[in-house]
Structure 1
Amino acid sequence: MSASLKERKEHFVTGLTGGSTIDIYGVTSVSIVSYLVWSILKRKTSVFSDSNDVQAIVLEFFINWVLLLLSVTCYCDNVGTLITASIAPLFLVVFKRTKDSNEKEIKINVNTLSSKQFTPFITYVTVYRAQMMIITCICILSVDFHVFPRRFAKVETWGTSLMDLGVGSFVFSMGLVSAKQTIKQRFDSNYSYVNNLINSIRNSIPILILGVIRLTSVKVLDYQEHITEYGKHWNFFFTLSFLPLVANTFAPIIDILSPIVTGFLILLVYETVLTRFGFVEYILNSQREGLVGMNKEGLFSLAGYLAIYLNGMSLGYTILPLFPTRNNLLRVNGSKDECLRNRSGQVFTVSPIKGLFILATLFHALYYILDTCYIYGVSRRMANSLYVIWVSAYNYTFLFGYKLVENLVWGEPQYALTNSGAKSTVINDYRDKDCVPVGLRAVNYNGLTIFILANVLTGLVNLTFNTIDMSDTIAVIILVAYCAVLSTVAFLLYTRRIHVR
C-alpha cells in the first residue's frame, strides 16, 4: 500500500462526529425485524423445515446478513422502506393456522435439578449475541467504503455512532455471558475465587496473544491505523483480555455491592478523575510521551468498559436462571437450596422481561438527563459515563425487543417444578433447534473465531483493493461476498461440531 493511499485511508476515518442515536436505533432495529420475519416464516410455513436445504440456507442468509448489510449501506436513509419490504410478504402467512405449538410444559424434578438445567438455553440471548456479532463484522469492513456513511464510523472524540456502539455492545455481551459460570458455581456451592482468577488469567492469554499479533501485523504491513482510537500500541483485543481478569480480581467486592452498583461507583470515581483532576485535557491534548501517554485512550477507557462489562454481568444474573432468584435484579443467586427456598417475591426479584423493561427505562432516563444537563457529551474515546449509560441502555432495550418477539411468536417457555416423577432433562433445549435460525446458532457457536476471521478478511481486502475509490455497487458486491464467506465458515464449523471459541 502506497504511503499516500495509507494517509487517505487514515484521513477517511479521522475527525468524524457521528450521528443521532435515533438514527442508530433505526438502522439496527432491522436485526429485530429480521428475527421476527424468520420466526413467522418458520412457525407458519415449511420453508425452514430442512436446515440443510440450499434454498432455505440462502433465504436465511439474506434475512440475517444481507438485510443488516443493506440497512447500514444502501438503505441507511430509507430504513422504513427496507423494513416495510421485509415485513410485507408476511401478511400472506401471518394469519395461517399452525398445527402444533412449541409452548410445551416441561416438568422439572427439583430433587434432580442440576446447574445445567438451572441455566437453560435462552433463545433471545443467542439471537441477540449472533446479530450483534454479524453487524460488528459487517461494519469493520464496510467502514472502508464510501457506501458506509461517515456518521456510522467511530467518532474522533465527542458524539455517538454505530461503530462506537458496537465495541461497547461487544463488551456488554461478554459480561452477560460471563455471569453463567458464576450462577452455576453458586448453585452447586463450588464457587472458588482462586480457581476463577486462575481460569480468567488462562483464558485471557489467547486474546492477549491476538492483540500482540494484530499490533505486530499493523506495524509490519504498514497498515492504516487510527491512533486516537486506543493509542499507539493498544487495540481492542487488549481491552477484551483485561476486562474478565479485572472483574475476577475484584469479585469479592463486586459480590458484596452487586455488579450494577459497583459499575455505578466505578463511573462516579472515573468521572471525578476525568473532570476534577484534569484528565480529560490529558487524554485529549497532551503529548504522547512514555508508554502510558502513548496508549492513554486504551488504558483510561478500561474503567468505562469495566462498568459496561459489569452491567452485562448483572443482567445475566436476572435473565439466565431458570426462574427468578432472590433480588436477582442486583445480585447473583445462592446455592440450590437457597434458590428453591427463596423463590417468593422480593423487592428486587423480577422476571426477565420485567427486569429488561426496568433497566432499559432507567438507563434511558439517566442518559436523557445527563445528555441534557451534563457539561460533556458521549465519548467512546474515553468511555466516559454518558457512553457507558448509552451503551447499556441500548443493549437492555434491544434484548427487551428480542424477548418480545420470542413471546409473540413462540410463547413464554413453560415449566413446572415437582418433587417426583419428572425426568432429568435440559430445559428448553428444543428451542435451540426450533426457535433460532441455524445461521445464528452457527455464529454464536464460534463467535470469537468469526470475529477474528472478519478482521483477517478486512485486512486482506484493504491490502488488495483501493476501497475508498470503489463505486457503491462494487462495494456492496464485495461486502456480500465477505458476509457469505463468514456465514459459510460459521455454518461448516457448526454442522461439523468444530468449536474453536
Structure 2
Amino acid sequence: MGPPHSVSDAHVKFVSGHSGSSGYEVVSAVSAVFPALLVTAIVVQGRCGWQWFVTETILLVLPLALSLTALSDFTFELGMSVAFVAVLALVLASHFRIPISKRGYKDEKRLGCITSLRGMLNLVAAVVILAVDFHSFPRRFAKTEEYGYSLMDLGGIGFVIANGIVEGRKKPDKWSVLRDGLALSLLGLGRLWLVHISDYQHHVTEYGVHANFFFTLAFVKITCSWWAWKLNLPRAVLAGVCLCVCHHLCLTVGGVGVWVLSSAPRHTLISANREWVVSLPGYVASYFFGVALGCHLFAGQNRRTHLTYSVICLTVCLFVSVVGLHHYLGLPSRRIANITFIIYAVFYTTMALAIYLTVETLAATFLRGLPTVPTIFHAINRRPLLCFLLANVSTGIINKSINTLDVPYPWDIIIIVAYTLGILFVLYFLFLRDNMQKLKHA
C-alpha cells in the first residue's frame, strides 16, 4: 500500500471509534459563545466595518476556537470567565448609560435569536470540520461510532432543525424547491466524485459508502419544505412524534438498528449506505420539530418577554425528556438517528434559542434595545450554504496539502484560527458589499 493510502487510512482511524462524552460537556463546549455575544453587543453595537470585524473575531470567534482546542479541558472555567466579563460590562453599560450607536445593523425581517442560532451552528461546524483532523481537537468531541453524546454529532441535525424553523413559516415556490433540491444533490455528487478521485479520507460509518450530508439536505428539502408551511404547531409536533415512534419501533422491534451498527457486508446500494437510509426518518422528524419551534417563535415575536419565559420552560421540559429517554431507551446514536438523539438535538437547539432570547431581553431592558446579533452572524446567516461549502473545500485543500496529524502544537491551533478567519473574511466582505449596494439603490 502506497503512502497516500497510508495517510488516508491514518486519518480515518484518527476520527473513528469514539464514544463521545457527556451531554453536559457538549453544552459546556460552546458555553463561552453565549456571554461573549453580550460582550460583543455592548462593544460593537451592530456596527459594520473592518475594525469591528477584528473586534468581533477577538471577542466572539477566538473564545470559541480556543474552547474547542487549547482550552477544551477548561470549557466551564472559560465560560464562567466570559460570563463574569459580560455581567460586568452589562452593569457598567447600564449604570453609565453608554451612548447607543444609531449606525448599528438590524434585520427587522428576522428574529434575532434565529439569526444568532444559525450563525452559531455554522460557525461551530466550520471550526470543527477542520479541527477534528488535528490533535488539539479532543476526541470526545468527534463523531461517535455507535452511541454517545458528541458535539460534532449535533452539527448536521442542528442545520435541519434550523432550516425547519425558517422554511416552515413561508410558502415556497415548488420550482424553487426542486431547484434547491437539485443543487444540493449535485453538490453531494460533486463531493462524492472529488473524494473518489483525490483518495480523500472517508469515514464510511458517517453516512455510508456513497451518501453524504448534502444528500440528506436534498431529501429533506424535496420531501418536506414545499408543504411544511401548512402545519401549525400541534400538527408539526404530532408529525414529529409519530415519525419518532414509528422509527423507534423499526430500529428496535424490527431489528434495523442492530443491522445498521453491525459489520454486515455492504454489497447492495442500500446496505452500502444503510446509515443514510435508516437515519432519514430521524432527520425528517427533527425538521418537523423545527417547524413547530418556528410556529411558536413567530407567533410570540411581539411579546418578547413572554416568549423568552415560554422557551425557557420548553427547554426545561426537553431536558427532562432527554434524561428520561436516556434512562429508559438508551444513549443517542447519530448513525441511526434514534429518538434520544433527535430529542437531545431539539433540546440543544431550544436551549440556545432560550439563551439568545434572554440576551435580547437584557439588552432591551437595560441597554435600550441594543442590537445583540453580531454582524458576523448576520454575514453567515446571509449565505449559510456558502459558509458550509467554503469550510468543506478549505478543509479538503488543507488536508491534501499537509498531514494534519504531524502538525505540532501550537501550529495546529494557528492553522485552525487562520482558516476560520479566512472563511469569515469572505462572508463579511460579501455582506458589506451587499449593504453598500442597498444604500446605493435606496
Shared fold by TM > 0.5?
Answer: yes
State the match for 2:266 in structure 1: 288
Whether contact under 8 Å (1:319, 1:351) holds in the other structure is no
State the match for 2:158 in structure 1: 169
Change (3 A) 1:102 1:491: closer
State the match for 2:180 in structure 1: 203
Provide the rounded CA distance (Å) in 2 between the counterparts of 1:258 and 1:439.
35
3-state DSSP class of the match of 1:443? helix
State the match for 1:52 in structure 2: 49
State the match for 2:389 in structure 1: 452
Provide the rounded CA distance (Å) in 2 between the counterparts of 1:397 and 1:122.
16
Deviation per CA, 1:281-331, whole angstroms, max 9, x where unpaired? 221223212111111100110100111111111111111247579xxxxxx
Whether contact under 8 Å (1:152, 1:162) holds in the other structure is yes
Written as runs of structure 1 = structure 2, the 5 A alignment for 1:107-126 is 120-126=109-115
The one-letter code of the counterpart of 1:97 is: F
- Tell me how far 1:152 sits from its aligned partner: 0.2
Provide the rounded CA distance (Å) in 2 between the counterparts of 1:252 and 1:78.
43
Written as runs of structure 1 = structure 2, the 5 A alignment for 1:55-66 is 56-66=52-62
Whether contact under 8 Å (2:119, 2:381) holds in the other structure is yes
State the match for 2:67 in structure 1: 71
Provide the rounded CA distance (Å) in 2 between the counterparts of 1:168 and 1:395.
10
What is the aligned counterpart of 2:281 among 303, 316, 330? 303
The one-letter code of the counterpart of 2:411 is: I
Whether contact under 8 Å (2:232, 2:292) holds in the other structure is no
Whether contact under 8 Å (1:102, 1:411) holds in the other structure is no
State the match for 1:352 in structure 2: 307
Provide the rounded CA distance (Å) in 2 between the counterparts of 1:277 and 1:253.
32
Provide the rounded CA distance (Å) in 2 between the counterparts of 1:440 and 1:82.
21
Deviation per CA, 1:4-58, whole angstroms, max 9, x where unpaired? 1111111001111110111111111111121021123346xxxx7x53252x321
Provide the rounded CA distance (Å) in 1 between the counterparts of 2:419 and 2:147.
31
- Tell me how far 1:361 sits from its aligned partner: 2.0
State the match for 2:217 in structure 1: 240
- Tell me how far 1:249 sits from its aligned partner: 6.3
State the match for 1:94 in structure 2: 91
State the match for 2:134 in structure 1: 145
Provide the rounded CA distance (Å) in 1 between the counterparts of 2:90 and 2:333.
45
State the match for 2:440 in structure 1: none
Work out whether 1:223 is the aligned partner of 2:160: no
- Tell me how far 1:355 sits from its aligned partner: 3.4
What is the aligned counterpart of 2:358 among 401, 404, 426? 404
The one-letter code of the counterpart of 2:72 is: C
State the match for 1:369 in structure 2: 324
Provide the rounded CA distance (Å) in 2 between the counterparts of 1:88 and 1:252.
41
Provide the rounded CA distance (Å) in 2 between the counterparts of 1:261 and 1:63.
41
Work out whether 1:212 is the aligned partner of 2:179: no
Deviation per CA, 1:269-290, whole angstroms, max 9, x where unpaired? 0111111111112212232121
- Tell me how far 1:160 sits from its aligned partner: 1.1
Gaps of 5+ in 1: 104-116, 183-194, 326-349, 415-429
Provide the rounded CA distance (Å) in 1 between the counterparts of 2:299 and 2:425.
32
What is the aligned counterpart of 1:387 among 341, 344, 348? 341
Provide the rounded CA distance (Å) in 1 between the counterparts of 2:308 and 2:235.
20
Deviation per CA, 1:405-430, whole angstroms, max 9, x where unpaired? 1101234999xxxxxxxxxxxxxxx9
- Tell me how far 1:246 sits from its aligned partner: 1.5
Change (3 A) 1:412 1:397: farther
State the match for 2:16 in structure 1: 14
Gaps of 5+ in 2: 437-442
3-state DSSP class of the match of 1:162? coil
| Matched pairs, number | 425
Provide the rounded CA distance (Å) in 2 between the counterparts of 1:14 and 1:491.
34
- Tell me how far 1:89 sits from its aligned partner: 4.8
Cα-Cα RMSD: 2.7
The one-letter code of the counterpart of 1:269 is: C
3-state DSSP class of the match of 1:161? coil
Work out whether 1:275 is the aligned partner of 2:270: no
Provide the rounded CA distance (Å) in 1 between the counterparts of 2:261 and 2:83.
45
The one-letter code of the counterpart of 2:433 is: R
The one-letter code of the counterpart of 2:54 is: V
3-state DSSP class of the match of 1:181? coil
Provide the rounded CA distance (Å) in 1 between the counterparts of 2:74 and 2:234.
45
State the match for 2:430 in structure 1: 493
- Deviates further, 352-361 or 165-174: 352-361
Deviation per CA, 1:66-111, whole angstroms, max 9, x where unpaired? 11110111111112332344345553673242256799xxxxxxxx
Written as runs of structure 1 = structure 2, the 5 A alignment for 1:421-500 is 434-497=371-434
3-state DSSP class of the match of 1:227? coil
- Tell me how far 1:435 sits from its aligned partner: 3.2
- Deviates further, 199-208 or 157-166: 199-208
Provide the rounded CA distance (Å) in 2 between the counterparts of 1:473 and 1:21.
28
Whether contact under 8 Å (1:196, 1:248) holds in the other structure is no
Whether contact under 8 Å (1:318, 1:355) holds in the other structure is no
- Tell me how far 1:132 sits from its aligned partner: 1.3
- The percent identity for this pair of structures is 29
TM-score, length-normalised on structure 2?
0.89
Written as runs of structure 1 = structure 2, the 5 A alignment for 1:311-350 is 311-321=289-299, 323=301
Give the number of the structure whose alpha-carbon radius of gyration is greater. 1
Whether contact under 8 Å (1:197, 1:248) holds in the other structure is no
- Tell me how far 1:368 sits from its aligned partner: 0.7
The one-letter code of the counterpart of 2:242 is: L
- Tell me how far 1:150 sits from its aligned partner: 0.3
Structure holding more helix per residue: 2
3-state DSSP class of the match of 2:34? helix
- Tell me how far 1:485 sits from its aligned partner: 0.4
Change (3 A) 1:393 1:88: closer
Change (3 A) 1:16 1:28: same
Change (3 A) 1:305 1:53: closer
Provide the rounded CA distance (Å) in 2 between the counterparts of 1:393 and 1:256.
17
Provide the rounded CA distance (Å) in 2 between the counterparts of 1:250 and 1:275.
30
Deviation per CA, 1:132-157, whole angstroms, max 9, x where unpaired? 11011000000000000000000001
Whether contact under 8 Å (1:200, 1:248) holds in the other structure is yes
Change (3 A) 1:498 1:212: farther
- Tell me how far 1:480 sits from its aligned partner: 1.1
Provide the rounded CA distance (Å) in 1 between the counterparts of 2:232 and 2:113.
26
Whether contact under 8 Å (1:64, 1:131) holds in the other structure is no
3-state DSSP class of the match of 1:288? coil
